[in-house]
Amino acid sequence: MMLTRTIAIAWLTIREAVRSKLLLSLTCLLVAGLFGLPMLIAGDNTLEGKVQVILTYTLAFATGLLSLTTLWTACGGLSSEIQDRRLYLVLTKPLHRHELWLGKWLGIMGLNIALMGLSGLIISAMTHHAIRNSGDSLKIKRQVSEQFLLARLAVPPLTPDWSQTLSAATQRLLQSGRIPTNMTPEAIRQKLIEEIKIQHFTIPPGGGVQFSFQIPAKFKHGHDLLLRYKFDSTRPERNPVAAQWTIGTAPGPLTHIGVTNYPGIPAVLVLDAQSTAGSNLITVAYQRQDTQSQATLLFADTTQEPELLMPCGSFEMNLIRGLFVILCRLAFLAALGLTAGCLLSTPVALFTAFFILILMASAGYVESVATTGVFYIPHEGPALDPNWLDRAILHIFRGFNVITHPLIQLDPAPLLASGRVVGGKMVLLALGWLAGLYSAISALIGIALFNRRELG
Amino acid sequence: MPSVMIIRLKQFVALAGLAVTDLFRQPATFILVLANIACTILVPLSVSHQLGQQSHLAVDSSLAFEFVFGLLLTGYAACSTLHDECRSGTILIVFSKPIGRLTFFLAKFTAVALLLAFFVFCSGVATLLAERLAPQNFEFDPLGLKLLMASPFLSFIPAGLLNYRSHRSFVPPALFLFALVLSVLVLILSSFDREGHRVVIGSMMDWRLLPACLLEGIALLLLAAIAISLSTRLAAPATVSILLVLLFAGLISDYLAELLQGIPLSGSVLQAILPDIQNFWPADKLAGGGVISGRMLGHAALYAAAYSSGVLCLGYTAFRNKQF
Amino acid sequence: MGEQNGLVIEARDLTKVFRDFWHRPRVCAVNGIDLEIKQGEIFGLLGPNGSGKSTTIKMILGLLYPTSGHLAVLGKSPRDVAVKAKIGFMPEESYLYKYLTAVEILNFYAALYGLSGRIKQERVKNLIIQVGLDAARNRPIGEFSKGMARRVGLAQCLLNDPDLILLDEPTSGLDPIACREVKDLLLSLARRGKTILICSHHLADMQDICDRVAILLNGNICAQGAVKELLVNPDTLRLSLQSPSREQLTAILTYIEQETGQRPLVDHSGRTLESVFIETVTRRPAAP
């Protein structure tokens, strides 16, 4: 019986959206944006750039538009029904308020599923079309297909053993007598390791660096691997740097690949299946070919080490998983919107929901304040002591971070745009945290408020 | 017997007065104006990694917030005052009186314009404060921050007391008191430097920002004309969406014209139809110490007046034939 | 059924006070009323605007919560959802979904009552015909006139064959023939044992059909009782005769005057405007 009533409410919500042309308008806007944005945004005139533009901007547009309209429909729908008194005739029926709330939520999610599905179809079709119909050579098309039309798992490099280098550095520090007095031994050790890492990854002209990757045993050889890396430069001019990658270690077979890369721009190296066959330990060495003394100094970004990308699924399944994670986010927004709509009048609920959206978009800043503990870092001089206001605001930010942190963690767009896998763990976390826990908490609060609300 | 013109004027004043009173009482107006002020002043305080560019950041973000919130307020106000009145049927009572549709239409536009004028004033004050209070060399102004934190209490508590004693609506007195308190704050802070020493009154404020905010206000007025014309037929979501698209398209109108170069006349038609919002974006003009001159404001106002007149004519044509 | 002592609605010292933002009492809409409505009767709630009629109805429906006092509907609290399965409500304004058709709206409300399949289809079909909307069954409610929307409101009220029917201005917006039909319907429902509570300003209609009424003023009940008893004027008597001759009339009047010392008032008994209208309209042939 409860299910019948809940489904009746959900079906009513969907029908209202269809009949009021909301669904039609939204579909037109979505389609126009998904097709129009990649046409408007100029990439770097490469096929890879074009595909990245398609994936990045279309996903962002679909997510943004559906987030906004979910909030709008959830807040506005319920609160306007209360305002128009259409809800009187519904609530005088044998219907619990939680059934009404749940029915509305299901109806909104039904619409979202349909629109997300449409978005996924369009994005997939556009990606395939862009690769298939580009004027580039077959080799480039194959490379781009390898990069984007397969879901790839990122394998980080093995951490070198710093112990010998660390003890040598510690000895040198002790001998110099310049040990900082305001730092704990552990802090000094961490600082030394950071300096060692920077030195290790700094590549002077003619210099090089080596990385080793341990591939999981379940990986089936016979597929190309991708090495994604980025180097930066200490000099402002960004001249291309010639170098050579060597795959494998002597005395085994070695494969040499010459590259020319621009500092600061991520690059992808395709490791042919044959060059990595038979071994689960892949070693790659980067050697600069330029030896002039005035050349640019390069160093790998220590916060974003190179990663080996191994294929583990298709683009379509990966896209479906990614869209599912986005759906979980929309489920949370729908719950939040309905809760606001239960309590507030229509325009107030709408703008409150709008600000919640802005807060969620600022999740990155909230996290940085919550984790670093400061709002600013003085350019010179010691850090200022936080006063009572700073501490109070910090607690508020930490509170917000508890809510917004999963939103950063559970964002599939950067993964899809770079061909990386949206893993089962992320899907489960999204289902559990966003669609499950957060939505349930919003639902409980919303239903409790709705039960207390008088409709006079 | 008063002349027809005087009667019409009285009707116009009554309609516009009622509409603007109604708009000021709405919680959404309160939220949008307050949100604009809060974002304008607080964002530069919180985002502190511009290495000496803090004032520049404060100005840029303030002007952007004014555009965005102003657009939302315009769209909402236009629909609330015209479209919702048509939908709810209260317009029937108005038109059962000897009131012409043109008088009614222009009165509604005037009400939205008056609301926008207040919004632009608040935005201007908030922009001045944002620029003044932005941390310099990563250090905040303690006097300014203390006064800023006190300002909501100084305005909302009296408004709350007024609501408690006389049952008057909370929103209009709260808004006006807040605007007044912030204006006083501007005058005070313009007389003290960051160390708390007295200086010549007005020397601590970048007064160039006021004409910049006014320039944007003229753009918002242009958008208000579009909004009120759209709201004769469309509800709030559609109106605001179209305004957003027009704002965005107006900002990139040059780029769009370039894209359509191959198609004859398309570029010039597009540039004629789309409002040239780039004319009203003052941040670039202020960069490097530039000022918004009176001549610039005059040109912008002339363009806005001409464009708005055309749009209002179209809007009135749609409204004149509307059946209820 | 669950009601105690044959009482369908029981209110004792029922009060509703609306408060402002500061939680101060603003308006006392219902002030300590006592109400007992028995099963099978048609009860009228009368009163000027702002007297508390709608507030009382909303408390009975569980939309508003009493500030103090006791209120039981069919023996249970009005907030008990199970009670609503036996209640039908027709509001003053038709708060309907304008994009749905009449059939879809009734199907939707039927689903909320837990009706399904054949029973739901038949009931919806019969009600649509009963309220005279068969020709407009598939038009969106947004295109309906006020009267037509009121008929949909009446139909949804009867979907679940309720034991208690609450009607707020049921004849508002209806033409006299439709009014008569509604009144006849309500009388037939009462004969079947349904309890009906009506709020209306149409006193003639209330007089026609109500068994008992209560008159509210400023939140208090200032008169309550059976209609016949309230309307009776015990100080006067009315005699009706089939048109006597002039001489007979004079003799009767003289005799009464002699016996009682009073000169009685004499006039012809009349019909109501409603009955004249109905007779006229139903007698005329329909226009070609």
Distance CA A390, CA A394 (A): 6
Q: How many independent structural domains does chain A possess? A: 2
A253 and A320 inside one domain: no
Angle B237-B251-B279 from CA coordinates, rounded to 5°: 120
The answer to whether the CB of B129 falls within 8 A of the CB of B59 is no
CB C124 within 8 A of CB C152: no
Task: Tell me: do A425 and A345 sit in the same domain.
Answer: yes
Which residue, A281, A310, A339, sits at the end of a domain? A310
Secondary structure class of C172 (helix, strand, coil): coil
Residue A156 lies in a domain: no
Q: How much is the pLDDT for A190? A: 83
> Around Cβ B231, how many Cβ atoms within 10 Å?
29
- DSSP-derived secondary structure for A395-425: HHHHHHHHHHHHHHHT--HHHHHTTB---HH
Domain region containing A218: 163-310
Edge-to-edge strand list for the sheet holding C212-217 = C87-90, C164-168, C195-199, C42-46, C212-217, C220-226
Taking all residues of chain C, what is their mean pLDDT, rounded to a whole number?
86
Assess if residue A117 is contained within a domain. yes
The terminus-to-terminus CA distance of chain B in angstroms comes to: 32
User: Which residue reads 């003394």 in tokens?
Assistant: A293
> What is the model's pLDDT at position B113?
96
Nearest to C27 by CA among C57, C61, C50: C50
Contact B31 A352 (CB under 8 A): yes
Mutation target vs A (from B23, B30, B31, B40; most A CBs, 10 A cutoff): B31
Domain boundary among A310, A326, A346: A310
| Residue whose C-alpha is closest to residue A455's, from A105, A87, A35, A147 | A87
Asked if residue A158 is part of any domain, the answer here is: no
Rounded to whole angstroms, the Cα distance separating A422 from A317 reads 9
Report how far residue A56's alpha carbon sits from residue A364's, in angstroms, rounded to the nearest whole number: 18
Whether residue A15 and residue C114 make contact (CB cut-off 8 A), yes or no, is: no
Whole-number pLDDT of residue A395: 84
Instruction: Name, of A49-53, A402-406, B183-187, B319-323, the range with top average pLDDT.
Output: B183-187
What are the residue boundaries of the structural domains of chain C, listed by start?
Answer: 7-229, 246-283
What pLDDT is attached to residue C122? Answer: 93
Least confident range of A159-168, B298-307, C42-51, C106-115? A159-168
| Mean pLDDT over the full length of chain B | 86
Boundary residue ending a domain (A276, A310, A344): A310
Dist CA A103 CA B110 (whole Å): 43
Q: Does A154 fall in a domain?
A: no
For residue C9, the surrounding DSSP H or E stretch is: strand C7-19
Q: What average pLDDT does this structure show over C45-60?
A: 90
Q: Which residues of C lie inside 8 Å of A (Cβ-Cβ)?
A: 18, 55, 58, 61-65, 81-85, 87, 89, 91, 93, 95-97, 99-100, 104, 108-109, 111-114, 116, 140, 153, 156
pLDDT range class, residue C8, cuts 50, 70, 90: very high
Residues A136 and A182 in one domain: no
Residue with tokens 């006067």: C236
A277 neighbors A221 (Cβ within 8 angstroms): yes
Tell me the count of B-C CB pairs closer than 8 A: 4
Point out the least confidently predicted range of A410-419, B95-104, B254-263, C42-51: B254-263
Residues A306 and A377 in one domain: no
Give the Cα separation of B66 and B64 in Å (integer): 5
CB contact under 8 A, C22 and B164: yes
Same domain, A353 and A258: no
pLDDT given for residue A302 in this prediction: 57
Give the predicted TM-score (pTM) of the model: 0.81
pLDDT in tens, C221-234: 988 888 887 777 77
Higher pLDDT, A105 or C145: A105
Q: If you classify domain C7-229 with CATH, what class do you get?
A: alpha beta
- Residue of chain C with shortest Cα separation from B165: C22
**Which runs of consecutive H residues, i.e. helices, occur in A85-132?**
86-91, 97-132
Mean predicted confidence (pLDDT) in C235-240: 77
Asked whether residue A276 is assigned to any structural domain, the reply reads: yes
With CA atoms as reference, report the closest residue to A79 among A58, A57, A104. Answer: A104
What is the nearest CA distance from C120 to chain A, expressed in angstroms? 13
Residue B322 burial (CB count, 10 A) = 12
> C204 CA to chain A: closest CA distance, Å?
27
Task: Measure the CA dihedral A184/A186/A192/A195, to 10°.
Answer: -100
Q: Bridge partners of A285?
A: A210, A246
Residue type, B299: H
pLDDT computed for residue C1 by the predictor: 41
The residue among A293, A289, A296, A292 whose CA lies nearest residue A235 is A296
| Same structural domain, A9 and A124 | yes
Q: What's the confidence (pLDDT) of residue B144?
A: 86
Residues of chain A contacting residue B27, judged by C-beta atoms under 8 Å apart: 345, 347-348
- For B110-134, what is the mean pLDDT? 93
Pairing assessment for the beta strands A298-300 and A231-233 based on DSSP bridges: antiparallel
CA-based nearest residue in chain B for residue C24: B164
> For residues C224 and C221, what is the distance between their CA atoms, to the nearest angstrom?
7
CA distance readout (Å), C38 to A63, A273, C73: 58, 88, 11
Query: Is A153 contained in some domain?
Result: no
Q: Using the structure block, give the residue that is written with the tokens 């080596």.
A: A210
Helices A22-40 and A2-19 pack at an angle, to 10 degrees, of 60
Distance between CA atoms of residues C23 and C37, nearest Å = 33
Examine residue A157 and state whether it is found in any structural domain, yes or no: no
Question: Contact, A299 vs A203, CB < 8 A?
Answer: yes
Phi, psi of A250 (to 5 degrees): -65, 145
The Cα diameter of chain B in Å comes to 69
Question: Do residues A194 and A247 both lie within one domain?
Answer: yes
Q: What is the Cα–Cα distance from B178 to B170, expressed in whole angstroms? A: 12
In a domain, A24, yes or no: yes
- Strands, DSSP E only, in A175-252? 202-203, 208-214, 225-229, 231-233, 241-247
Q: How far apart are CA B207 and CA B201, in angstroms?
A: 12
Cα distances from C34 to residues A125, C11, C56, C72, C213, in angstroms, run 70, 5, 11, 12, 13
CATH code at A269? 2.60.120
Which phi and psi (to 5°) does residue B102 adopt? Answer: -65, -45
Which strand (E) or helix (H) includes residue B127?
A: helix B101-133
Average pLDDT in the B190-217 region?
Answer: 86
Q: Nearest Cα to B66, choosing from B37, B23, B42, B29?
A: B37
Give the CA diameter of chain C: 77
pLDDT for res B43: 80
Lowest-confidence pick of B26-40, C137-151, C153-167, C229-243: C229-243
Percent of chain C with pLDDT over 90: 39
Closest chain B residue to C23, measured at CA = B164
Whether residue A214 is found in the same domain as residue A266: yes
In angstroms, the CA A344 to CA B287 distance is 42
Give the closest of B35, B48, B237 to A355, CB-based: B35
Place of tokens 């530069």: B44
Cα-Cα-Cα-Cα torsion B34, B37, B41, B47, nearest 10 degrees, comes to 70
Enumerate the residues of chain B whose CB falls inside 8 A of the CB of residue A369.
46
A48 contacts chain C (CB < 8 A): no
Residues A96 and A190 occupy one common structural domain: no
Q: Is there a contact between B266 and B286 (Cβ–Cβ < 8 Å)? A: no
Could you give the CA distance from residue A95 to residue A103 in angstroms, rounded to a whole number? 11
Question: Is residue A85 located within the same domain as residue A136?
Answer: yes
Q: Which of A297-301, B205-209, B273-277, C56-60 has the highest mean pLDDT?
A: C56-60
> Is the Cα dihedral A301, A302, A303, A306 positive or negative?
positive
User: Per-residue confidence of chain A (456 residues) as pLDDT tens digits?
Assistant: 788 899 999 999 999 888 887 888 889 889 988 988 888 777 778 888 888 888 988 998 999 889 888 988 898 888 888 888 888 889 999 999 999 999 999 999 999 999 999 999 999 999 999 998 888 888 888 888 888 888 888 888 888 887 888 888 888 887 887 777 777 778 888 888 888 887 778 888 888 888 888 888 777 677 788 888 888 777 666 778 888 898 887 677 788 888 888 887 888 888 887 777 777 888 888 888 877 646 656 666 556 678 888 888 889 999 999 999 999 999 999 998 999 888 888 778 877 877 777 777 778 878 877 877 765 544 445 555 666 767 777 888 888 888 788 777 788 988 888 888 898 899 999 999 889 999 999 999 999 989 988 887
- Within this chain, do residues A117 and A70 fall inside the same structural domain, yes or no? yes
Over the stretch B3-17, which tens digit does the pLDDT of each residue have?
888 888 888 998 899
Nearest chain B residue to C20 by CA: give it.
B167
Q: Are residues A327 and A305 in the same domain?
A: no
End-to-end CA distance of chain A: 28
